[in-house]
Amino acid sequence: MAPRSESVEDFRQRARTWLANCMPKAGTMPKREGIDPEEQNWLDARDLQKLLFSGGFAGICFPREYGGQGLTREYQVAFNEESAPYEMPVALNVPSLGICSAMLLDMGTEEQKQKYVRGAISGELVLCQFLSEPSGGSDLAGLLTRAQRDGDTYIINGQKCWSTYAFAADFATCLVRTDWDAPKHRGLSMIIVPVHDPATHMNRVQMV
Ligand SMILES: Cc1cc2nc3c(=O)[nH]c(=O)nc-3n(C[C@H](O)[C@H](O)[C@H](O)COP(=O)(O)OP(=O)(O)OC[C@H]3O[C@@H](n4cnc5c(N)ncnc54)[C@H](O)[C@@H]3O)c2cc1C
């Protein structure tokens, strides 16, 4: 972790040395035998994120209490410049870190931040978003997925689509309707759901 008083220039020098010693150069990730290239990319992204985390360079602008470095944008820019020649877990930037974790920082409970934001920064978890639905995505006030309270849990029924990287994610921030009596743009809740649950059926969109 960066010393609190470290200047951007000192941080840059430290990052340069660490990157040269610890990160693979772009295009030199070792191939994993018998694993398809897409799965390999995701395993690599998680491993690279874990490396960044162990080196104290993950979540540069995220708060320290959730696994980040608590630094300003200038430090992130310096790190981006220094890390350009190296393999980086860029697939985790959006939506896992840049959207889901950032949203949880603003809106999540302390427990959620400790589990999901820290999990994403440390490379243990990948997050995605379940917002859009087959009946329309832009007009989120029209969403139909419902969550019904059942004791301590919710039972969720509905369909989501265009969920970027859902196939590779562990958890999704899922927008659901919890109050059908409220006006359309109210009565909505965000529930964090496991993506690969036996009760969830996923179809990949095939690229043509
Ligand atoms: C690269 C990419 C990644 C994405 N990743 C995700 C993701 O991870 N998770 C996720 O949930 N979604 C994701 N989406 C979906 C995206 O956020 C939009 O919700 C979705 O593309 C819009 O839905 P739709 O295509 O069904 O269009 P529609 O919602 O049917 O909209 C079609 C047109 O109608 C207009 N329109 C819609 N409603 C109204 C209204 N009430 N009044 C007037 N005009 C209206 C829209 O502006 C648009 O021009 C992604 C989209 C893209 C392009």
Rounded to the nearest angstrom, the distance between the alpha carbon of 136 and the centre of ligand 1 is 6
Q: Are 85 and 34 contained in the same domain?
A: yes
Domain assignment of residue 110, yes or no: no
Atom 3 of ligand 1: nearest residue by CA position: 164
Q: What is the pLDDT of residue 59?
A: 98
| pLDDT > 70? residue 197 | yes
Averaged pLDDT, 155-172: 97
Rounded to the nearest angstrom, the distance between the alpha carbon of 2 and the centre of ligand 1 is 40
pLDDT tens-digit readout, 9-48: 999 999 999 999 999 999 999 999 999 999 999 999 999 9
Question: What does DSSP assign to residue 93?
Answer: I
Domain assignment of residue 102, yes or no: no
Domain range enclosing 43: 8-91
CATH label of the domain that carries residue 152: 2.40.110.10
| pLDDT > 90? residue 136 | no
pLDDT tens-digit readout, 59-107: 999 999 999 999 999 999 999 999 999 999 999 999 999 999 999 999 9
Closest atom, ligand 1, to C-alpha of 165: 8
Closest atom, ligand 1, to C-alpha of 138: 29
For residue 75, count CB atoms less than 10 angstroms from its CB and return exposed for 0-12, middle for 13-18, buried for 19 or more: buried
Q: Ligand 1: does its nearest atom lie under 6 Å from the Cβ of 137?
A: yes
CB 121 within 8 A of CB 62: yes
ipTM: 0.88
| pLDDT > 70? residue 190 | yes
Q: What residues does 171 pair with on adjacent strands?
A: 127, 194
